[in-house]
């Protein structure tokens, strides 16, 4: 399994059912029967990866919305994406 980098294309897997409660996203993996809850920033990331997108483009979009320096944004987003991949709910393409 290769590391997720700025050039990696990512997207949601298809078997996730998601809904919004207040400003959080609540999701369920149909395949695993597992529930997930994302904070507002994680929810925004999830929305942005509905269709395949390069990580660099995802970071660029988030930088426009949130007041964060690029290094922090890259580090936090890459860590979050790795968590999603470990849970089996992130599609990663080379």
Compute mean pLDDT per 10 residues along the chain, 94 residues long, and list them. 89 89 85 88 94 97 95 96 93 86
Residue-level pLDDT at 22: 81
The pLDDT of residue 14: 85
Residue 82's pLDDT is 95
Q: What single-letter DSSP state applies at residue 16? A: E
> In whole angstroms, what is the distance from residue 53 CA to residue 37 CA?
22
For the chain, counts of helices (H) and of strands (E): 3, 6
pTM: 0.89
pLDDT at 94: 67
Per the CB < 8 A criterion, the answer to whether 89 and 36 are in contact is yes
């Amino acid at each position: 399994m290769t590391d997720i980098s700025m050039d990696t294309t990512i997207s949601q897997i298809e078997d996730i059912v998601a809904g919004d409660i207040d400003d959080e996203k609540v999701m369920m993996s149909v395949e695993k029967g597992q529930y997930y809850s994302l904070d507002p920033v994680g929810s925004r990331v999830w929305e942005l990866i509905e269709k395949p997108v390069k990580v660099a483009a995802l970071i660029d979009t988030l930088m426009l919305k949130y007041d964060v320096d690029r290094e922090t944004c890259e580090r936090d987003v890459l860590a979050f994406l790795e968590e999603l991949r470990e849970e089996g709910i992130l599609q990663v393409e080379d």
